[in-house]
């Protein structure tokens, strides 16, 4: 697993992986907006229309944002039970994005942990290229994991995480349109506060 993906894993696994923690500590606090972002991961995919495969909208980036939010909905569901089984993660995440999420979930299971709550997302599409053989788009997100908590499955106790850990960070994602549906192919958390 490369260093960038490991940084993302530590957003939740920081308490159980002190080596990865060093790369995620927030040495320069963001003095920007301390108010909570109001944009959050969308409601579960089953209760909303599947915008990632809907007909073209006036905003070419909207289906990319929808796919990203669906990816997070399914990732949150997988983290909540430490298993990708029974989720639709494979529908919204492929290639590196799926492999990284599956590795993170397996690590939680091995350590006897699950995650409760959910991150707050603020994705913004940075590019869309539909003229490629395989259409591609990119987005940047300010991912806030402060309300996504680790809990020991054996005791239902929340895991105390280090105070200096980064809870809001920049995430870059790449999406492609496969068989008429936008899917997330790569998610790269940056060691940068937002």
35 part of a folded domain:
no
Instruction: Determine the Cα–Cα distance for residues 168 and 144; give it in Å rounded to an integer.
Output: 4
Determine contact, residues 75/67, Cβ cutoff 8 Å.
Answer: no
Domain of 63: which CATH number?
A: 3.10.450
33-60 average pLDDT score: 44
Range of the domain at 133: 3-28+41-193
* Other beta carbons within 10 Å of 164: 12
Task: Assess if residue 36 is contained within a domain.
Answer: no
- Is the residue at 88 inside a domain? yes
Least trusted range by pLDDT, from 22-26, 70-74, 189-193: 22-26
In a domain, 144, yes or no: yes
What pLDDT shows up at residue 57?
53
Question: Is 33 a domain residue?
Answer: no
Report the pLDDT averaged over residues 65-77.
98
Tell me the per-residue pLDDT of 111-128, one tens digit each, with 9 for 90 and over.
Answer: 999 999 999 999 999 999
Of the candidates 171, 194, 126, 139, the residue with the CA atom closest to the CA atom of residue 5:
171
Residue 115 within any structural domain of the chain: yes
Residue 150: predicted pLDDT:
95
Q: How far is CA 128 from CA 61, 80, 92, 138, 140, in A?
A: 7, 32, 18, 7, 12
Give the strand pairing for 113-117 and 148-152: antiparallel
Residue 65 half-sphere exposure, CB side, CA atoms within 13 Å?
A: 18
Residue partners of 191: CB distance under 8 A and separation at least 6: 7, 23, 24, 166, 169
Bridge partners (DSSP) of residue 128 are: 137
Of 117, 191, 103, give the one whose Cα is nearest residue 159.
117
User: What is the C-alpha separation between 135 and 174, in angstroms, rounded?
Assistant: 11
147 in a structural domain:
yes
Total structural domains within the chain:
1
85 burial type by CB count under 10 A (0-12 exposed, 13-18 middle, 19+ buried) = exposed
Mean confidence (pLDDT) of the chain: 78
Q: What is the pTM of this model?
A: 0.73
> Does a structural domain hold residue 34?
no
Q: Is the pLDDT of residue 147 over 90?
A: yes
């Amino acid at each position: 697993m490369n260093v960038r993906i490991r940084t993302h894993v530590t957003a939740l696994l920081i308490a159980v992986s002190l080596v990865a923690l060093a790369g995620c500590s927030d040495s320069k606090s963001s003095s920007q907006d301390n108010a909570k972002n109001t944009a959050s991961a969308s409601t579960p995919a089953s209760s909303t229309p599947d915008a990632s495969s809907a007909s073209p909208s006036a905003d070419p980036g909207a289906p990319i944002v929808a796919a990203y939010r669906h990816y997070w909905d399914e990732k949150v569901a997988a983290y909540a039970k430490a298993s990708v089984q029974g989720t639709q993660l494979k529908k919204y995440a492929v290639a590196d994005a799926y492999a990284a999420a599956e590795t993170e979930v397996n690590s939680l299971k091995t350590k006897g942990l699950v995650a409760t709550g959910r991150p707050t997302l603020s994705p913004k599409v940075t590019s869309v290229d539909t003229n490629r053989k395989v259409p591609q788009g990119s987005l940047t997100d300010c991912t806030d994991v402060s309300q996504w908590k680790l809990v020991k499955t054996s005791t239902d106790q929340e895991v105390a995480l280090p105070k200096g850990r980064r809870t809001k960070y920049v995430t870059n994602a790449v999406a492609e349109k496969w068989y008429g549906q936008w899917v997330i192919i790569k998610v790269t958390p940056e060691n940068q506060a937002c």
